[in-house]
Amino acid sequence: MRTTRIAAAAAAALGILLATACTTDTPTDEADEATTEAESGDEWFVQADYDAQLAQRDVEPEGDPAAPWLQAIEPEWVDTAAFAQEGGDATVCFSNASVSNPWRVTGWITMQQQVEVLQSEGKIGEFRHSDAGDDDDQQISDIQAFVDSGDCDALIISPSTTATLTPAVEAACESGVPVIIFDRGVNTDCAVTFIHPIGGYAFGADAAEFLVDNLEPGSTVLALRILPGVDVLENRWAAAEEIFAGSELEILGNEFTGGDAAEIKNIVTQYLQRGDVDGIWMDAGDGAVAAIEAFEDAGAPYPVMTGEDELSFMRKWQETGMTALAPVYSNFQWRTPVIAATMILAGEQVPAEWVLPQDPITEAELDQYLEINADMPSLHYAKFGGEDLPGFPDAWQDR
């Protein structure tokens, strides 16, 4: 009896070894693909989108620079007269993916403040929202519920994942309600407008180019990433890989941290034990300060670093005087969809694809942005764009 059990355990162990051996084949496949992806076009790296986004960074957006949430890059205006409504008591519905990270929390407060302004101006009536807690299936139900209720005069959707909401969004479009998509996209252009900053490739490229420009050839760079499998984040890394591949920087590794400060500090500390780290690239700023502290605690010189326009990182950057850049995934985009809804309901033209500017915060602008946001909590985003809303600053402070 015991021998069979040991035999079974051994067989299982062997099976597990085989299984892991099988899975370890994969990265070599991927490595092969990675070398050819530039020519052949890997599924996760679309050269045309990459080129377009990098080019859009240099395009002067149309509109007032003082209100970047209303600016648009190379807009193609579409007619919305068919959706025009009288009265100004329209019900606007919003299906939110989640408020599960500080970036979304900040944006959601901004959107609510914008809604209050539009309501008091008599441009919209009721504002309904649902929150899917990052669950695609839940969000599909949420969208269906809005459509079935028949009460919505406009439907705003911030998709939880790019492709998976496509059928639900198509169904919503077919119901005749004007649909507004923002942040992540869907694989259909049936929405009246799709609002987003330039995009993930531009974010990743801004950061990677900064490192390439500010580090000596042969320097070492560690990439810290949040989660695998999230395509908007994969785009940021794909762009960075593309730029690093053409540089003489050595990439020590790319690690997933879940955005957890302890995990980040841990990983950076381990890399520092093994050798020098000259640069840090991040696909989102969550926990950036922990990475910097790892250098302090190890007695290592500060790296050249890219984080995000999250205040805790920017404050640390100012305090230490390190060489850094805050790439931005424009948080002010949360204002645009509700404004777009009022425009559509008034029959005004909107861009079919409303590309908002997305400019990183450089050292020259650092002090200015920190001054504007001096009273804001540390997990707040500098380019939230709500300074002119009546609830400022209390709504973002006492949340």
Q: Does 239 bind other proteins (CB under 8 A)?
A: no
Q: Does 330 bind other proteins (CB under 8 A)?
A: no
Q: Which stretch binds other proteins (CB under 8 A): 7-15, 56-64, 76-84, 337-345?
A: 7-15
Positions in 191-220 near other proteins (CB under 8 A): none
Residue 218's region, left for phi above 0, alpha for psi from -120 to 50, else beta, is left
Could you say which of 117, 171, 245, 370 contacts other proteins (CB under 8 A)? 171
Q: Does 19 bind other proteins (CB under 8 A)?
A: yes
Closest separation between CB of residue 75 and other proteins, Å? 27
Name the helix (H) or strand (E) containing 163. Answer: none
Which whole-number Å values give the CA distances from 1 to 5, 6, 8, 11, 13, in the listed order?
Answer: 6, 9, 11, 15, 18
Q: Does 300 bind other proteins (CB under 8 A)?
A: no
Closest separation between CB of residue 68 and other proteins, Å? 23
Q: CA 168 to CA 175: how far, in whole Å?
A: 11
Measured in residues, the chain has a length of: 399
Q: What contacts 8, CB < 8 A, 6 or more positions away?
A: none
Q: Does 293 bind other proteins (CB under 8 A)?
A: yes
Could you say which of 47, 254, 320, 349 contacts other proteins (CB under 8 A)? 254
Give the x/- contact pattern for other proteins in 43-82, rule: CB under 8 A. xx--------------------------------------
Residue 299's region, left for phi above 0, alpha for psi from -120 to 50, else beta, is left
Contact criterion met (CB below 8 Å) for 256 and 234: no
Q: Does 172 bind other proteins (CB under 8 A)?
A: no
Closer by beta carbon to other proteins, 109 or else 366: 109
Q: What contacts 267, CB < 8 A, 6 or more positions away?
A: 222, 224, 255, 257
Positions in 116-135 near other proteins (CB under 8 A): 128-131, 133-135
Closest separation between CB of residue 118 and other proteins, Å? 18
Q: Does 21 bind other proteins (CB under 8 A)?
A: no
Q: Does 155 bind other proteins (CB under 8 A)?
A: no
Contact criterion met (CB below 8 Å) for 88 and 312: no
Which whole-number Å values give the CA distances from 204 to 109, 292, 306, 358, in the listed order?
Answer: 26, 20, 10, 12
Backbone CA torsion sign across 179, 357, 233, 322: negative
Q: Does 3 bind other proteins (CB under 8 A)?
A: no
Could you say which of 377, 391, 392, 393 contacts other proteins (CB under 8 A)? 377
